[in-house]
Amino acid sequence: MRKLLFFVVSCAFIGGIVFGEGAKEAFPSKPITIICPWAAGGGTDRTARFVADSLAKVVGQPVNVVNKTGGNGAVGHQAGASAKPDGYTITNLTFEVNTLKYLGYSDVTPNDFIPLVQFNQDAAAVIVGGNSPYKSVKDLLDDIRSKPAGTFSFSGSGIGTVWDLARIGLLDKVGIDPKRVKYIPTNGAAPAITEMLGGHLDVITCSYPEAAPQIKAGQLKCLGIMAAERNPQFGDVPTLKEQGIDWTYGTWRGFAVPLKTPQADVQVLRDALLKVVQSQDFKDFMNKNGFGMDIRVGDDFMKFMLNQFDGLKGIFQLAGYGKQA
């Protein structure tokens, strides 16, 4: 009797292992969430939603975008870094993951993620109202010099975000104290554009694609982009360098998962995202909307982020923000 019981229990145990392994569900087997740290309607949100729709077709599961805004990207990036490392939560990383520790908003850095794929890089643009008298960035800067401090209001996103740092670096480059202008923080480019359309701002620094619909409609005007050369997608817009200002700056976007995510799941997601960003549909979407494409994968993406993180110390000292004040 004891031998029979031992045999039955043993078979059940062995069978459980065999059946357990055989019944293991392939990843992914349920919906995936992409955390977007920025407001709905902005460039990051728009690209995230296009990728989500395309990714769902590749992996065969719904992919939902959730906007978790606030703290200059800290809320969304922190939520992504601390999510369960099971592959079902992807964070839409942006340039600001490099700024949070400098600002003292969060201890999150690129080292808190496993990078999947970077897909975008965009230069900052200098944007004014459609009826603005300025015809060039130089005209604008000359007026900022001549008017009393505090006359001009800038925005583009939150304090210490890429669009704020682009503004600070530009003004410093031409010998204007960045404190001569007011910076009105928002939760992303989309709210800043709304504020400008309402007559509450004089200048926005953000990427051209984020304001492209309003620029094309004549509601806003782009005076120049902070790039090394013109973007053929909007080739009528001059660079700052063409206007005698040797200053370039911009943002990027990509995807990552929390540390300790199983390597097999990481590879599935990485391969799927690569398939998306290398597709003709994605290229057409990016080209149509003026978003720049720049692809880095895995370790190359991490190296890019860490090099940028190290290089931000100087500009934060100039800004007087956070821990570098």
- Which tokens sit at 27? 């990843």
For residue 321, the model assigns a pLDDT of 81
User: At which residue do the structure tokens 């019981």 appear?
Assistant: 5
- The answer to whether 32-122+251-324 and 123-243 have equal CATH topology is yes
The parts of the chain modelled with pLDDT lower than 70 are 1-24, 322-325
Strand 89-94 to strand 250-258: parallel, antiparallel, or no bridges (unpaired)? Answer: antiparallel
For residue 323, the model assigns a pLDDT of 58
Rounded-to-integer distance, Cα 315 and Cα 307, Å:
14
Q: Which residues pair with 221 in a beta bridge?
A: 128
Rounded-to-integer distance, Cα 316 and Cα 159, Å:
11
Provide DSSP, 222-254: EEEE-SSS--GGGTTSPBTGGGT-----EEEEE
User: 3-state class of 305 per DSSP?
Assistant: helix
Strand 182-183 to strand 293-297: parallel, antiparallel, or no bridges (unpaired)? Answer: unpaired
For residue 24, the model assigns a pLDDT of 60
For residue 318, the model assigns a pLDDT of 80
Distance set, CA 158 to CA 74, 167, 192, 319 (Å): 11, 12, 10, 13
Which top CATH class is 32-122+251-324?
A: alpha beta
Rounded-to-integer distance, Cα 320 and Cα 242, Å:
30
| pLDDT tens digit sequence for 260-319 | 999 999 999 999 999 999 999 999 999 988 899 999 999 999 999 999 998 888 888 888
User: At which residue do the structure tokens 């004014």 appear?
Assistant: 128
Distance set, CA 226 to CA 17, 55, 79, 171, 247 (Å): 59, 31, 31, 12, 6
CB contact at 8 A, 116 and 93: no
CB contact at 8 A, 294 and 118: yes
Provide DSSP, 176-190: --GGGSEE---SSHH
Q: In the CATH scheme, what is the code of domain 123-243?
A: 3.40.190.10
pTM of the full structure:
0.77
For residue 311, the model assigns a pLDDT of 83
Helix intervals (H) in 82-136: 100-103
Domain ranges of the chain: 32-122+251-324, 123-243
For residue 264, the model assigns a pLDDT of 97
For residue 72, the model assigns a pLDDT of 86
Rounded-to-integer distance, Cα 185 and Cα 154, Å:
9
- Which tokens sit at 258? 């929390």
